[in-house]
Chain A
Amino acid sequence: MGNNQSGGPDARYGGPNDKAGLRRHRMMSETAKIAGQVLPNPDGGPPMIFDDGNEDKSGECPVVFRWSFTQNAQPRVVHIVGSWDNWQTRIPMVKSTNDFSTIIDLQPGQYEYKFQVDGSWVVDDNQGKAQDVHGNENNMINIQDSDFAVFEALDEDFQSSTAGEVLRGESESTKNHDTPNDRELEKLRSFTQEIPSMDMLRKAAGPPVIPPQLMQVLLNKETPESCDPNVLPEPNHVMLNHMYALSIKDSVMVLSSTQRYRKKFVTTLLYKPV
C-alpha cells in the first residue's frame, strides 16, 4: 500500500509520467525478488542489513542493474557507466546464465546510465530513457527510499528472532524449538575484515577435536605373542596417508605412515637421525 501511495504524486504530472511509473514498478518488483533471494546468504556483495549508526552508508540503497541477452547473441563483456560518479568509472558486470548484473549503492535520486556491450555503447530499450543536454539518449532511473522498506522490515524481524538473540549472546539459558545449533549459527554469521577484540576472542570456542578413529595408532596396539611381528592389524581407512611421529629420543626421529597397495596395506617406519 505504501508503494502505491508513493506513486500518487507522479500521476499528477500527466501522460508521460504514467509510463515512467509503470517501469519503476517493475524495477521495484525485481529488486524485492533479488533481496528475498540474497538476504539469507550474504556472500561478498554490498551489506544487506543497514546500520543506521554508520555515516558512510547512511541513506545508500543497493540497486540491481541487469543486462539480458539470448543464447544466440551472448556478449563477452558488459560494463555500466552512470551519472552517479559523473560518468567516471566503467563498472564491469557479472555474467550469469541469461544476463549480466551488478549491484551499486546509490543515494535516492534520479540518475542516468548507459551500457557498454563488447565495446559498443548501448541503451536498454526495456528501461526508462532520457536525453541529456547534448542530445544523447541514456537510460534513466529514479531511486526512492520507500523502494527498500522491505529490507528494514526483514532486519527488524531477524533482530527479534531467537537466532538474533543467540548471535548477540543474550539469554543463553532459555532454549526453545527455534534455538539454532552450531551449524545453523555458522550460516548466519558474516565475515569481515575487522579484527575481533580480546573479549570476543576469549568467548570463542576452541578448535574442533580430532576424529576418534585417528587416536587409535596401529603401532601402539599390543599384538599377541604368537603373531608375526611383521604383521599389523588391518587399518581403518581414515588412518591411511597420515603421518605419525614418535617423540625424538636419543637424537633419532621415528616417523610412520600407512599406505594402501591394491587391496593390502603397508605400514612403514622411518628411522632418521636429527
Chain B
Amino acid sequence: MNNTTGRLRRNKATTFESPSIPKAFFDLQHHFIFSKRKAPVDGIEAIQRDGASISEHAVVKYANDERPDEKEKQDLENMFKTVLRIGVQNSDIVYTHLLQLSQCYEAMARNNKLIVFTNDISVRKAFNGLIYNCMRTGLVADSQTLEITGVLSVTDFIMVLMMLWKYRENLDELKGTPLSHEDFRQMDIAYMPISRWKGCLETKGQLKPFINIGLKESIFRAVELLTKYRIHRLPVMDEKTGDCAYILTHRRILHYIWKHCALLPKPECLSQRVVDLEIGSWKNLIFANEQTPLIECLDMLIDNNISGIPIVQKNTLKVLEVYTRFDAASAAFSDHIDLSVSVTRAIQERDYQNGIRRDGVVTANYTTTLWSLIEIFIDKNVHRIFMVDDRTILKGIISLSDVIEFLVLRPTKKNGVTTGEPMEK
C-alpha cells in the first residue's frame, strides 16, 4: 500500500487518490482469535454450519486477576485463559466472520436516542414527534403495560396520507382540491390512535410483524433478519428486561465494518468495479420524471418497497433530483397537502421547511470500484447512490442494503455451494 501518495483520510489503510487497490497477496494464514464468553452463540453455530472448524487454545494471561480459589486451581486460572480460534479460508468471508463474532451490543453508539409512543396516542401527534426529533422510526408500546409491541415509521405516515388523498379523490365535489391543514386536522383519520391504525393495517394484510433481535445475538443474524424481511431498522432488545437499547440500521452496520476493516485482510472484490460485481439494480429501474404527480411517486415508493426514487429528465434519463420517504413525511407540515402537484414542485416546497435536514442526490460513475462506493456511503450518509455515466444518465441504483448483503451474506451462500474442507497445517 502506497501511503505517501495523497492525503490520508480517516483510516490510515486507505488513500483516496489511489487508482486501484492492489490485489491482496495472502502468504499468511489469518485467524480470528476471540473470547469464548463474549462471542455470540448463534454466530459460532453459523460458522460451524458453514463447515469451518473452531479450535480451542490456552494462552498465557498477562493480567493477573485476583480470584479467591484453591491454591493449585488458582495458579492455573491465573496463568492461562481459553480462547477460540478460527482460520480465514479466503478473504471474501472475512467480514462475514467479523459480524458473526460480534454481538449487536458492539455496534451500539455511546448514547442512543429512542422514541417510544404509547398506542393510545393519535397517529398525527406521533408523526409530529418523529419529525420534531428528525427520527425515522419510533417504537410503539402498550399503554397499560408499556411493553414494546411494534414500530412506527414514516412509511405508515405515507400510507395515511395516500389513503386520505384517495378517499377525497373519490368524492366528486372535492376532487382535485388541495387538502388544507385545517381539513387534515378535522378528519377522523388524523385522530386515529395507533392501535386502531395497526388494526386497519392488519385487516388489509399490510401489517408487518414486529421483528427484533437480542443484544447478545450476532450482527450477522441481524443482517439476515434485515434482508429476509426487507426492513431498514431493527430494534435491538435486552433479552431479560424487554427494553430496547437502540435501533440497528444498515448504516450502523456499515460503520461498524468500516471501523474494523483496517485490521482485517481486504477482499479482492473491493477493488473490482461495481458494474462487474452486479451489485444493486441495473435493469428495470424505477424512476420518475419532473412532471410525474406526487401521488404516483408515493405509489412507487410503497408498492416497490423502496425508500427513494430518482427524478430524471424525460428523454435523456439524466438524474436531476431524488425523492425519499422522509421528504414525503414532511409534506404534512405545509399549509396545503396537495398530492396532485408535480414532484419537482413538491421538492421545491420541501426546501422551505425549517430545521429538517434533507438528503441530497448522490451519484457515482458506474465504473466506480466497490471500495470507493463504500467510502461515498460513509461520507455522505445516504441510503442509495445512483450510478450514472459521464453525462449523468441513469445506469443503475445501488442501495446500502445491497452493499451489506454483498459483503456479508454472499460469501456464505457462495461457501455453501462450494463445500471445501479447511486446509490443515
**Taking beta carbons and an 8 Å cutoff, which residues of A are in contact with B?**
218-219, 225-226, 228-235, 250, 252, 254, 258, 261-262, 264-273
Contacts and interface: CB of A to CB of B under 8 A. Distances in A.
Nearest to B135: A229
Contacts of A273: 118, 120-122, 125
Given A264-B110, A272-B143, A230 B246 contact: yes
B114 A269 contact: yes
A235 B113 CA distance: 12
A262 B129 CA distance: 29
A265 B109 CA distance: 8
Interface in B116-166: 116-118, 120-122, 125-126, 128-129, 133-135, 138, 141, 143
Interface string B217-231: 000000000000000
B112 interface: yes
Contacts of A265: 110-112
A264 B114 contact: no
Interface string B228-265: 00000000001000011111000100000000000000
Contact of B113 (A229, A250, A254, A271): A229
Give the dominant DSSP class at B's interface: mixed
A267 B114 contact: yes
B381 interface: yes
A270 B118 contact: yes
Contacts of B141: 270
22 contacts: A228-B109, A229-B113, A230-B109, A230-B112, A232-B112, A252-B121, A252-B125, A261-B108, A262-B105, A264-B105, A264-B112, A266-B112, A266-B243, A267-B112, A268-B116, A269-B114, A269-B133, A271-B115, A271-B117, A272-B117, A273-B118, A273-B120
Nearest to A231: B109
B413 interface: no
A271 B118 contact: yes
A234 B245 CA distance: 15
A270 B135 contact: no
Given A262-B105, A271-B117, A250 B111 contact: no
A46 to B, nearest CB: 50
B111 A233 contact: yes
Contact of B245 (A219, A229, A235, A261): A261
A264 B125 contact: no
B204 interface: no
A241 to B, nearest CB: 14
A164 B112 CA distance: 55
Given A226-B381, A229-B134, A271-B129, A234 B111 contact: yes
B357 interface: yes
Query: Which one of A226, A231, A232, A235 has the greatest number of beta carbons of chain B within 10 Å?
Result: A231
Given A225-B357, A229-B134, A230-B247, A267 B125 contact: no
Nearest to A263: B110
Given A225-B357, A250-B125, A271-B129, A264 B109 contact: yes
Given A229-B135, A269-B133, A273-B121, A234 B246 contact: no
B420 to A, nearest CB: 38
B246 to A, nearest CB: 7
A235 B115 contact: no
